[in-house]
DNA sequence: CTTTCTCAATGAGTTTATATCATGAATTGG
DNA sequence: CCAATTCATGATATAAACTCATTGAGAAAG
């Protein structure tokens, strides 16, 4: 869809509604208050149609197994391993949907969900996949001759990049190092892979689960700023509702992922670097 | 939109979703359970888009005044009087939307609502328009030589046609006549004009507000089966939320409808019949 | 201050999607 | 058994939607 097409659609929509949804201010444009409200309502409604469609599609056992997974976990861990699952179960097609936020398992919008959360309770079936080890990572250029900071206070000399859905991460880490509360408001990103990009680019120091940035660590694009890692209480869980547990596809996936998660996920950097050479 | 187009759309939708929404059984078709759910969800979402669009459209004072009114009242009372309003306020365009159910005045989906209800309370501004006089009406053919029944029990010999949103109507009427509870389940209709049609066709006896069927009474297509009427506690109210009360259009309409509602609405049948001749 | 660059709007043209018409198949009611 | 009703479908027309290329207006850079 080109820019021109969108411009035209906006125009005809504004004409239909009889009001301006955007304020044009020279080179840019931004939503009017009415436009904001309308956008919220309509995109909400469209989301519901999408959800209903997925629920309908996945309600029949069509050989498609749908999984809502937290974005970076899906990108860096799940998807790379999927070919293996495919090889074991060629008849099951896996459909991965990026999804944060609370799960809507009851609606049947997807069969399985992978979330980073506390051990869940209630009417949901949960399988713990793995915990993670979080380190303070940055580009090597930020360190003096490639060595980690000696004093924890040195961390505070750089922007501490945050993750929108984990506001507690930096406070936890700093207090574990015996430092006070987080000094300044920091730039934060929605996904770890964005955070990783920012750190690689030298924007500052980011708290990232090590297994998500194996490659960057192995290649030396990211290094630990201080020789310490923490293990959050939250972990990755595979979730589904009780009825879904009956499905052949779900059972197959659960037994596969149990084994996949048991494998050592963060190989020693040396071996990894060797593979890349 | 032709039938063929709809058929095609259904087909492509079923293909997209990968499941059947309808069960084809020879000459007819009906929704599958999945289809029902999908229909409910999607039409709900579409309704919300419609509501948001109306809310957006009516949020600006574009000279359009929108009124959600109970269907038969709109048809038989409001719309016939609208030309008069138009004549007084040629600059205001009135947009009448049929609407039962609870009002969503807060959403701004329409400026005004007309409902048949108890005196409303809470954060809504209400103006009482009129009450109604309900009679038991039927086609003259059902009566012996055009005279009302002598004994109330005679009512029970005919199907008592009901109105879906007024289940209490017949029990109230019968108990007012000293009769027991409603004997048999009765056919019921969603709108008074349908009920009127059914009664004219001789299907049975219907409880209808007299002012809605002035013409039928005047022309003798409907007559009172028993010489009694009741006045429900509920009445017609014009409703709007507080902010809407500031609008020029709303104020104009309110003062107009106050006068319109004060006029005698049920003229004597003789005079009316004379007009028609 | 000029130039360059970016971004949204627009004119013209083309492709695609969507509706229509007419017809066909299947079923049911009289 | 025929007529009527109902949904599906093939071919075709048309309107809608999208793209490309360009323009004009600002903002940023030189």
Confidence of residue A271 (pLDDT cuts 50, 70, 90): very low
The DSSP call for residue A114 is E
How many Å apart are CA B269 and CA A141, to the nearest integer? 96
Please report the pLDDT score of residue B183 as a whole number.
66
**Helix (H) or strand (E) run with residue B129 in it:** strand B124-130
In the predicted model, is pLDDT for residue A269 greater than 60?
no
Write out the two tokens for B267.
Answer: 């003229």
Quick one: what percent of chain A has pLDDT higher than 70? Answer: 94
| Residue from A236, A189, A55, A251 nearest B37 by CA | A55
> Model's pTM, two decimal places?
0.78
What chain B residue is nearest to A35 in terms of C-alpha separation?
Answer: B56
Return mean pLDDT, chain B: 88
Nucleotide with C1' nearest the A3 CA: C8
Of B3 and B238, which is predicted with more confidence?
B238
- Cβ <8 Å between B41 and A49: yes
- Chain B, residues 142-201, CB within 8 A of chain A, namely none
Of B102 and B184, which is predicted with more confidence?
B102
Question: How buried is residue B254: exposed, middle or buried, by Cβ count under 10 Å (0-12/13-18/19+)?
Answer: middle
| Count, residues in chain B | 277
Question: How do residues A115-171 score in pLDDT, each as one tens digit?
Answer: 999 998 888 999 999 999 999 999 999 998 878 898 888 888 888 999 988 888 999
Confidence of residue B274 (pLDDT cuts 50, 70, 90): very low
How many Å apart are CA A91 and CA B273, to the nearest integer? 77
In the predicted model, is pLDDT for residue B78 greater than 50?
yes
Question: How do residues B92-105 score in pLDDT, each as one tens digit?
Answer: 999 999 988 888 88
| Region B46-61 average pLDDT | 89
In the predicted model, is pLDDT for residue A272 greater than 50?
no
Round to a whole number and report the distance in Å from the CA of A4 to the C1' of C11. Answer: 12
| Residue from A65, A51, A132 nearest A96 by CA | A65
Residue indicated by tokens 């609870």: B102
Quick one: what percent of chain B has pLDDT higher than 70? Answer: 94
**Helix (H) or strand (E) run with residue A161 in it:** strand A160-163
Q: How far apart are the first and last CA of chain B?
A: 41
| Region B28-47 average pLDDT | 92
In the predicted model, is pLDDT for residue B264 greater than 80?
no
How many Å apart are CA B129 and CA B253, to the nearest integer? 12
In the predicted model, is pLDDT for residue B277 greater than 80?
no
DSSP result, A208-237: EEGGGGHHHHHHTSSEEEEEEEE--S-EEE
| Count, residues in chain A | 277
What chain B residue is nearest to A43 in terms of C-alpha separation?
Answer: B49
Q: Is B203 helix (H, G, I), strand (E, B) or coil?
A: coil
- Chain A, residues 56-75, CB within 8 A of chain B, namely 56-57, 59-60, 62, 64
Write out the two tokens for B5.
Answer: 């187009």
How many Å apart are CA B116 and CA B105, to the nearest integer? 15
Lowest model confidence (mean pLDDT) among A29-33, A176-180, A199-203, A267-271: A267-271
Q: At what angle do helices B33-59 and A3-17 cross, to 10 degrees?
A: 70
Give yes or no for CB of B184 within 7 Å of strand C.
Answer: no
- Cβ <8 Å between B42 and A55: no
Question: How do residues A36-93 score in pLDDT, each as one tens digit?
Answer: 999 999 999 999 999 999 999 888 778 899 999 999 999 999 999 999 999 999 999 9
Sheet with strand A93-98: strands edge to edge: A93-98, A64-69, A112-117, A235-241, A124-130
Q: B51 CA to chain A: closest CA distance, Å?
A: 9
- Chain A, residues 25-54, CB within 8 A of chain B, namely 34, 37-38, 41-42, 44-46, 48-49, 51-53
In the predicted model, is pLDDT for residue A268 greater than 80?
no
| Residue from A55, A74, A56, A224 nearest A134 by CA | A224
Which nucleotides of chain C have an atom under 7 angstroms from any protein CB? 6-12, 18-22, 26-28
Write out the two tokens for B117.
Answer: 């209800």
CA B206 from centroid of its chain's CA atoms: 15
How many Å apart are CA A70 and CA A74, to the nearest integer? 6
- Cβ <8 Å between A34 and B62: no
Q: A114 CA to chain B: closest CA distance, Å?
A: 24
Confidence of residue A266 (pLDDT cuts 50, 70, 90): very low
| Residue from A238, A273, A272 nearest A255 by CA | A238
In the predicted model, is pLDDT for residue A13 greater than 90?
yes
Helices (H), A18-137: 33-59, 71-73, 79-88
| Region B252-270 average pLDDT | 76
DSSP result, B210-251: GGGGHHHHHHTSSEEEEEEEE--S-EEEEEEEGGGGG-HHHH
Task: Determine if residue A234 is left, alpha or beta; phi over 0 gives left, psi from -120 to 50 gives alpha, anything else beta.
Answer: beta
Cβ distance A134 to A230 under 8 Å?
Answer: yes
Confidence of residue B165 (pLDDT cuts 50, 70, 90): confident
How many Å apart are CA A188 and CA A198, to the nearest integer? 10
Question: How do residues B133-162 score in pLDDT, each as one tens digit?
Answer: 999 999 999 998 878 898 888 888 888 999
Residue indicated by tokens 């004994």: B151
Helices (H), chain B: 3-17, 33-59, 71-73, 79-88, 169-176, 192-200, 214-219, 248-262, 269-276
Letter string b/e over residues B19-34, b meaning 16 or more CB atoms within 10 A of that residue's CB:
bebeeeeeeeeeeeeb
Q: Is B17 helix (H, G, I), strand (E, B) or coil?
A: helix
How many Å apart are CA A92 and CA A253, to the nearest integer? 9
Round to a whole number and report the distance in Å from the CA of B33 to the C1' of C27. Answer: 24
How many Å apart are CA A109 and CA A68, to the nearest integer? 9
Chain B residues in contact with A48 by the CB 8 A cut-off are 41, 44-45, 48
Give yes or no for CB of A10 within 7 Å of strand C.
Answer: yes
**Helix (H) or strand (E) run with residue B116 in it:** strand B112-117
Please report the pLDDT score of residue A165 as a whole number.
87
- Cβ <8 Å between A48 and B45: yes
Quick one: what percent of chain A has pLDDT higher than 90? Answer: 59
Please report the pLDDT score of residue B268 as a whole number.
41
In the predicted model, is pLDDT for residue A270 greater than 50?
no
Rg (C-alpha) for chain A, rounded Å, is 22
Q: Is A125 helix (H, G, I), strand (E, B) or coil?
A: strand
- Nearest-by-Cβ selection for A34 from B19, B59, B62: B59
Give yes or no for CB of B30 within 7 Å of strand D.
Answer: no
């Amino acid at each position: 869809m080109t820019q021109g097409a969108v411009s035209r659609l906006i125009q005809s929509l504004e004409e239909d509604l009889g009001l301006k949804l955007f304020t044009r201010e020279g080179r840019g444009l931004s939503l009017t208050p009415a436009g904001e409200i309308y956008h919220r309502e309509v995109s909400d409604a469209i989301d519901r149609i999408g959800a209903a469609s997925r629920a309908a599609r996945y309600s029949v056992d069509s050989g498609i197994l749908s999984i809502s997974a937290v974005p970076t976990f899906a990108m860096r861990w799940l998807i790379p391993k999927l070919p293996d699952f495919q090889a074991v179960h060629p008849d099951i097609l896996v459909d991965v949907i990026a999804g944060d936020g609370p799960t809507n398992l009851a609606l049947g919008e997807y069969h399985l969900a992978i979330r980073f959360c506390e051990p869940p309770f209630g009417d949901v079936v949960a399988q713990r996949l793995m915990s993670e080890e979080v380190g303070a990572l940055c580009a090597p250029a930020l360190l003096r001759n490639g060595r980690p900071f000696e004093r924890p206070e040195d961390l505070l000399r750089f922007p501490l990049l945050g993750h929108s859905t984990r506001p507690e991460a930096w406070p936890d880490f700093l207090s574990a190092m015996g430092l006070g509360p987080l000094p300044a408001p920091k730039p934060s990103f929605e996904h770890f892979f964005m955070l990783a990009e920012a750190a690689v680019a030298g924007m500052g120091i980011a708290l990232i689960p090590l297994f998500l940035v194996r490659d960057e660590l192995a290649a030396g694009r990211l290094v630990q700023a201080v020789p310490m890692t923490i293990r959050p209480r939250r972990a990755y869980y595979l979730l589904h509702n009780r009825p879904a547990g009956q499905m052949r596809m779900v059972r197959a996936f659960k037994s596969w992922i149990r084994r996949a998660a048991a494998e050592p996920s963060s190989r020693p950097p040396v071996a990894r670097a060797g593979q890349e050479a």
